[in-house]
Amino acid sequence: MFRKPSTALRISRVWGDDDMDELRVAVEGPDTGFAVTSYVGREDLKTAVKDLRSFAKSQGLCDLRFGEFGPEYANGAVHVRFHWFDGRIYLTCRLQTDYDRFARKEAADEALIHVRTEPSLLDAFLAELGPLVDRKRDEVALELVPGSA
């Protein structure tokens, strides 16, 4: 049974075909929350998972990107930077919704959220990502440590 952590970076599949997935990416916590949907190519998703697995072994930095920022692109955008520091993993999450008409202009909602997790929680998340990519599950969550969202 999938247990939903109360504070998490959650990725859910909304839709998909042979070439692309539409993902809902949410940063959820007791005091904050923001979610967007974004398109990602199947091969790009596989590459992102591979990069994140390398990051887990070598530490340093890793960027997870889905969609593109700006009104000229369809749907929303996600950029999560993973950064090892002092034995913990810090995430800077920038999320932007799709642009829509707002008075006389096009506007999108956007959030910048800083959270953290632990190496063992990242390992559990990585174990779930493979089945997401293979379409054997539709949702994964990276549990975040208390007080980080």
CATH of 8-143, one of 3.30.2450, 2.30.30, 2.40.40, 3.40.1350: 3.30.2450
Over residues 109-126, the pLDDT tens digits come to: 999 999 999 999 999 999
CB 18 within 8 A of CB 37: no
Stated as kind and residue range, the H or E segment containing 96 is strand 88-96
Q: Residue written as tokens 């889905």?
A: 66
Over residues 31-78, the pLDDT tens digits come to: 778 999 999 999 999 999 999 999 999 989 999 999 999 888 889 999
> What per-residue confidence (pLDDT) applies to 74?
84
Distance CA 40, CA 11 (A): 12
Neighbours of 46 (CB within 10 A): 15
Distance CA 57, CA 37 (A): 29
Determine what percent of the chain is predicted with pLDDT higher than 70: 94
Distance CA 21, CA 15 (A): 6
Q: Two tokens at 62?
A: 């890793």
Distance CA 64, CA 142 (A): 13
